């Protein structure tokens, strides 16, 4: 046979084997494939920064270097293909109460929180007054009714951020009937996931978590959620070799509120069994319902403001935050989680 004939025969055999693998033999029998967690691109340009809130240099550090560093270390902590097919959300749930996976929980939770924070932002539009913008949103009456006024709400939220000692996040959360609350979490604490069992999947949850897709392949799940059909990870592209970036004193608590404060409140994911043995009065404290939904958060970490605003720049950082918060997204989340339970509330003048 001529050399040309051999090439054609070899090409045909390769094609036939590929077709046989894809149609006759399940993927798991001809080699497991790894699906490394990696960043997704943001909806805005990192190299343009976020006005006076974050310079391009800081935004690149927070959204690319720090985020991918967390995910690289998470991949190293869980090298098994089965773990790397899980979403970061699932890894947080799986490691929440495991003492031997404390560092893995820390990496996963930090990555999830940081991704949620970055996806709450957008560059400000020219000549746009964010206060005027908020007044026209359907969430505005609830803010006025529950906090007295928009400036009062902003002051309360910013004060909570300024008063936080150490790192963490400040969240605005709601329940199914539209009650609002400001809640801090510390270190690796999160309000996006509350327990090991994933039994809640509110409408829009997948989009709210902003988890990206794995490069290919299905994601197995043994939980009764809507997340099993779409493989996910909170953030694409791989950075160069990671340097030493290990958050100190990893904390595995999924929320850091006092026990009497939110013991009965549930977030996106929770275990129905967690309700057993909990006094019903604990779930009604501060007017929060059984399920809580984060609307937005702000990262309270020095690397977010140090380069742009200085060591004591947290107050300036918070002042600029409101101009880059994506209020349209916040409003959409609020309506998604409360639209079937809450009606329009009167404006408070």
Angle at 215 between CA 213 and CA 218, to 5 degrees: 75
| pTM for this entry | 0.67
- Contact by Cβ (8 Å): 91, 83: yes
CB 22 within 8 A of CB 276: no
Q: Which domain holds residue 151?
A: 37-338
**CB–CB of 300/321 below 8 Å?**
no
Q: What is the dihedral of CA 199, 264, 189, 196, to 10 degrees?
A: -30
Q: What crossing angle do the helices spanning 102-118 and 67-77 adopt, rounded to 10°?
A: 150
Residue 148 in contact with residue 349, Cβ under 8 Å? no
Residue 21 lies in a domain: no
Comparing 2-16, 95-109, 126-140, 243-257, the range with the smallest average pLDDT is 243-257
Rounded CA gap, 206 and 227, in Å? 7
CATH code where residue 297 lies: 3.55.40.20
Whether 24 shows a pLDDT value over 80: the answer reads no
Specify the higher pLDDT residue, 24 or 47: 47
Give CA–CA dist 72/45, Å, rounded: 23
In a domain, residue 229? The reply is yes
Name every residue whose Cβ is closer than 8 Å to that of residue 195 and which is 6 or more positions away in sequence: 93, 96, 254, 269, 270, 271, 274
Flag whether 161 is in a domain: yes
Q: Report the side by side order of strands in the sheet with 293-300.
A: 180-186, 168-174, 293-300
Q: Which two tokens stand for residue 269?
A: 């994911």
Name the DSSP letter for residue 64: I
In a domain, 209, yes or no: yes
Which pLDDT score, from 0 to 100, does residue 29 have?
33
How is residue 67 written in tokens? Answer: 């985020």
- 211 assigned to some structural domain: yes
Q: What is the mean pLDDT of the chain?
A: 70
Given a cut of 80, whether residue 347 has pLDDT beyond it is no
SS (H, E, C) 277-290: CCCHHHHHHHHCCC
Number of Cβ within a 10 Å radius of residue 99: 8
Higher pLDDT, 142 or 3: 142
For the stretch 38-78, pLDDT in tens is 788 899 999 999 999 999 999 999 999 999 999 999 998 88
Residue 2: inside a domain: no
Q: Reduced to 3 states, what is the DSSP secondary structure of residue 208?
A: helix
Task: Choose among 107, 100, 85, 98: nearest CA to 32.
Answer: 85
Per-residue confidence band for 135, with pLDDT thresholds at 50, 70 and 90: confident
| 184 neighbors 171 (Cβ within 8 angstroms) | yes
Overall number of domains in the chain: 1
**Is a pLDDT exceeding 90 seen at residue 260?**
no
Pull the structure tokens for residue 171: 């969240």
CB–CB of 122/59 below 8 Å? Answer: no
User: Per the domain annotation, does 122 fall within a domain?
Assistant: yes
pLDDT tens by residue, 145-187: 999 999 999 999 999 999 999 999 999 999 989 999 999 999 9
Looking at residue 282, its pLDDT comes to 28
% residues pLDDT > 90 (the chain): 41
Is the residue at 25 inside a domain? Answer: no
C-alpha span between 130 and 321 (Å, rounded): 11
- Name the percent of the chain lying above pLDDT 70: 58
Q: For residue 90, is pLDDT > 50?
A: yes
Statement: residue 198 has pLDDT above 90: no
Q: Which whole number is the average pLDDT over 14-29? A: 43
């Amino acid at each position: 046979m001529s050399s040309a004939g051999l090439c054609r025969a070899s090409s045909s055999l390769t094609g036939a084997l590929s077709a046989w693998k894809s149609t006759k033999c399940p993927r798991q029998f001809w080699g497991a494939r790894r699906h490394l967690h990696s960043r997704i691109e943001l909806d805005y340009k990192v190299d343009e920064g976020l006005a006076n809130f974050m310079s391009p240099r800081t935004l690149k550090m927070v959204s690319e270097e720090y985020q991918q560093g967390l995910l690289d270390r998470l991949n190293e902590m869980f090298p098994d293909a089965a773990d790397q097919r899980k979403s970061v959300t699932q890894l947080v749930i799986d490691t929440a109460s495991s003492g031997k996976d404390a560092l893995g929980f820390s990496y996963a939770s930090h990555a999830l929180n940081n991704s949620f924070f970055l996806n709450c932002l957008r560059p400000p539009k020219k000549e746009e007054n964010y206060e005027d913008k908020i007044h026209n949103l359907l969430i505005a009456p609830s803010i006025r009714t529950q906090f007295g006024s928009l400036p009062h709400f902003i002051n309360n939220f910013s004060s909570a951020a300024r008063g936080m000692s150490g790192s963490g996040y400040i969240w605005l959360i709601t329940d199914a009937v539209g009650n609002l609350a400001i809640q801090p979490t510390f270190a690796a604490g999160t309000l996006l996931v509350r327990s090991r069992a994933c039994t809640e999947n509110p409408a829009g949850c997948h989009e709210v978590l902003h988890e990206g897709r794995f490069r290919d392949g299905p994601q197995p799940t043994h939980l009764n959620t809507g997340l099993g059909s779409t493989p996910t990870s909170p953030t694409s592209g791989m950075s160069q070799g990671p340097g030493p970036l290990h958050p100190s004193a990893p904390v595995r608590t999924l929320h850091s509120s006092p026990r009497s404060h939110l013991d009965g409140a549930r977030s996106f994911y929770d275990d129905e069994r967690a309700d057993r043995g909990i006094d019903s009065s604990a779930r009604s404290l501060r007017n929060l319902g059984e399920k809580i939904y984060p609307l937005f958060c702000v990262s309270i970490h020095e690397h977010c403001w140090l380069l742009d605003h200085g060591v004591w720049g947290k107050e300036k950082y918070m002042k600029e935050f409101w101009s880059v918060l994506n209020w349209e997204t916040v409003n959409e989340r609020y309506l998604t989680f409360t639209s079937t339970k809450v009606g329009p509330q009167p404006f408070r003048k």
